[in-house]
Structure 1
Amino acid sequence: MLLLLPAYGVAQQGPVLSLDTVLKRIDQNNLLLQSYGLKAESYKHSAKAATAWMAPMVGVGTFMTPYPGQELMDDRDKGSLMFQLEQDIPNPVKLKANKRYIESKAKVENETRGITLNEYKAQAKRLYFGWLIAAQKITVLQQNEKIDADHEKDRRDEVPLQSIQTGKCLQNNSQTGRKQQHDPHARR
């Protein structure tokens, strides 16, 4: 764990983004969410066009005309000229039902986008707070490491001091003991 601390300092060179910024970027830049939005938009446009009627068609052509160079037996073998007008008149109830169906598909895409966005936001929050906790743990570990280093330094400094003090204490005690042996008025 301690070996990874120097790598942590190198990996975190960029600016730290706030949680709100991260969530806004997810909403704006995620390709899957954008595709859901674009599908919903296309369904809305399709729903507007769903009530349109087919354009009227006009046609002119020949009917049963012989190939060039063929011998005609009768006047009826000459063929005829044909005009065609066509207009499809749809059922308005079916058109409205189709429009509502397409609009519902747009709503489904928007709801799917919302669900996916909520999942991404929850995951981003979980990862962001996990990162904050990890950063705090690293700070605490660094503080503990510093405290341990200070304790180690103090302990190294105390060992010679204690041995010097112990030697002085023993020397003082021995001198006091000698005085008491030679001084009959000293208390025991």
Structure 2
Amino acid sequence: MIMKHFKILTGLLLVTSFAMSQQVLTMQEIESAIQSKHPALKMLDAEARSMNEEAKGAYSWMPPELGAGFFQTPYDPRFWKSMNGQPGMGAFMISGQQMFPNKKRQNAEFAFMNAQSSVATQKKDVVVNELIFTARKNYYDWIVLEKKLKVLDENNRLLKFMMQSAEIRYKNGLGKISAYYKAKAALANVENMQIMLQNEIVQKRIVINTVMNRNTEESFSVDTNYVWYGFNQAMFDSASLMKQRSDIKVIDKMMEVNKLERTAELAKLKPEFGIRYDHMTGWARQPVMFSAMAMVKIPLAKWSSKMNKAKAESLVWQNEALQNQQQMIINEASGMAANSFTELELKKKQMKLYEDQIIPALRRNFQTMQLGYEQNTEELFELFDAWEALNMTQMDYFDQLQKGLQMQAELMKILEIK
């Protein structure tokens, strides 16, 4: 007997120690971990860096061109030599050529290439918002699951009390056995639900660990306190959403990049200058000669500027499409936010009725039945019915709470509230 008590005490100490060792993570800590550790954000940082490095090449020049060979040399080698006092024909020529880039074109290309990284950087906020929404949604679910488990633990204790009491009364001829089996089945259902909810908690832990880029088996618990965010209708107007939404800011950046790309395309129509130098060394009394020429590329001609002008025009229409996309996103987000806000307010009113009237009344009814049962004035099946009504109502309340918290998570995602 002493050994049995010792084992029970040891087990309780181990369970208590494990529970105390579990780290409690707040939603703010999870958000910080996501922003600092998730590989998708590091990937976008690397993409932005690669674009910035590529932009440094905008100021490069075309490579110089060198050549060497015969210049005005007859095919017949006899004419290479001087004859009858006349110098020979032909020379060996070395030539070099260099084009000088247009500085305004280079500046325009650098501005365009350097601005591309701003799109990748802005996309980080979109990714962070999605990841935080995933974490918050599962965090809120976990809170409700913990609250349900707490009620189920109490139900487990109450049903065991009913069963023990029914056994004693039946043996003493004071009660019917039918209610005993009803309570026994309910206890099995409670235990089954506990297993299911504990499994759901494991799944929520895996998801949250994944978005934090941690080992999925790493153990932690959640803070079961929650706060209703103070939303208001002014948050859902177009001007507020334009300032808040990161996907709108991404489109703004894309439009800026398109404008810079258009400027770069039109800058390609500017002339570029170059120089060519040839040095000829003649033989057989030929003098040393040279040739120096200035060159210019003129891409303004109609047949050579079609591609650049067409590209510039297409970018104007791309920005027109992006503006319409922005408006579409704003309209959709505004409608979703207003709808979710209305539903959330309804859920809050329903939950207040549960908290202030329905559950307290059913709990008092159960307590009255329990007192009457202990005083042998009520039957077990009546106590069981009172418990069942209370239990079902509490579970309905938690379902409403879960839906309300999910709506809050959805609203925080739409409004990008961290």
- What is the CA-CA distance between 1:17 and the residue it aligns to? 5.5
Specify the SS of the correspondent of 2:168: helix
C-alpha distance 55-162 of structure 1, shift in aligned 2 (>3 A): same
- What is the CA-CA distance between 1:134 and the residue it aligns to? 1.4
For residues 96 and 71 of structure 1, the distance between their equivalents in structure 2, rounded to whole angstroms, comes to: 53
The aligned counterpart of 1:32 is 40
- What is the CA-CA distance between 1:109 and the residue it aligns to? 0.8
**Contact 1:53 1:89 (C-alpha < 8 Å) held by counterparts:** no
The aligned counterpart of 1:84 is 96
Unpaired runs of 5+ in structure 2? 1-14, 81-87, 175-418
**Contact 2:65 2:97 (C-alpha < 8 Å) held by counterparts:** yes
Q: Which has the larger radius of gyration?
A: 1
**Contact 2:62 2:101 (C-alpha < 8 Å) held by counterparts:** no
For residues 47 and 24 of structure 2, the distance between their equivalents in structure 1, rounded to whole angstroms, comes to: 30
What whole-Å deviation, never above 9, does each CA across 1:2-55 have from its counterpart, x for those lacking one?
A: xxxxxxx9xx999456133432332233332222111111222223442x2327
C-alpha distance 121-63 of structure 1, shift in aligned 2 (>3 A): farther
The aligned counterpart of 1:115 is 126
What whole-Å deviation, never above 9, does each CA across 1:31-85 have from its counterpart, x for those lacking one?
A: 32222111111222223442x232763735334699xxx9723217765131314
Larger CA deviation: 95-104 vs 106-115: 95-104
For residues 57 and 152 of structure 2, the distance between their equivalents in structure 1, rounded to whole angstroms, comes to: 64
For residues 15 and 117 of structure 1, the distance between their equivalents in structure 2, rounded to whole angstroms, comes to: 26
The aligned counterpart of 2:351 is none
C-alpha distance 162-41 of structure 1, shift in aligned 2 (>3 A): same
Q: Does 2:31 correspond to 1:23? A: yes
C-alpha distance 150-81 of structure 1, shift in aligned 2 (>3 A): same
Q: Which amino acid counterpart does residue 74 of structure 1 have in structure 2?
A: F
C-alpha distance 120-81 of structure 1, shift in aligned 2 (>3 A): same
**Contact 1:40 1:107 (C-alpha < 8 Å) held by counterparts:** yes
For residues 71 and 25 of structure 1, the distance between their equivalents in structure 2, rounded to whole angstroms, comes to: 82
The aligned counterpart of 1:156 is 167
- What is the CA-CA distance between 1:114 and the residue it aligns to? 1.2
Q: Does 2:80 correspond to 1:72? A: no
C-alpha distance 63-148 of structure 1, shift in aligned 2 (>3 A): farther
Match of 2:141 among 106, 130, 134: 130
For residues 15 and 80 of structure 1, the distance between their equivalents in structure 2, rounded to whole angstroms, comes to: 86
The aligned counterpart of 1:54 is 61
C-alpha distance 112-43 of structure 1, shift in aligned 2 (>3 A): same
Structural RMSD (CA): 3.5
Q: Which amino acid counterpart does residue 77 of structure 2 have in structure 1?
A: L
Specify the SS of the correspondent of 1:54: coil
Q: Which amino acid counterpart does residue 32 of structure 1 have in structure 2?
A: A
- What is the CA-CA distance between 1:97 and the residue it aligns to? 1.6
- What is the CA-CA distance between 1:162 and the residue it aligns to? 6.3
Q: Which amino acid counterpart does residue 20 of structure 1 have in structure 2?
A: Q
For residues 64 and 120 of structure 1, the distance between their equivalents in structure 2, rounded to whole angstroms, comes to: 70
TM-score by length of 1: 0.62
**Contact 1:72 1:78 (C-alpha < 8 Å) held by counterparts:** no
Q: Which amino acid counterpart does residue 31 of structure 1 have in structure 2?
A: P
TM-score by length of 2: 0.31
Specify the SS of the correspondent of 2:146: helix
**Contact 1:65 1:77 (C-alpha < 8 Å) held by counterparts:** yes
Specify the SS of the correspondent of 1:81: strand
For residues 32 and 82 of structure 1, the distance between their equivalents in structure 2, rounded to whole angstroms, comes to: 55
Q: Which amino acid counterpart does residue 62 of structure 1 have in structure 2?
A: G
The aligned counterpart of 1:6 is none
Unpaired runs of 5+ in structure 1? 1-8, 164-188
C-alpha distance 58-160 of structure 1, shift in aligned 2 (>3 A): same
For residues 112 and 143 of structure 1, the distance between their equivalents in structure 2, rounded to whole angstroms, comes to: 47
The aligned counterpart of 1:45 is 53
- What is the CA-CA distance between 1:103 and the residue it aligns to? 2.5
C-alpha distance 61-151 of structure 1, shift in aligned 2 (>3 A): same
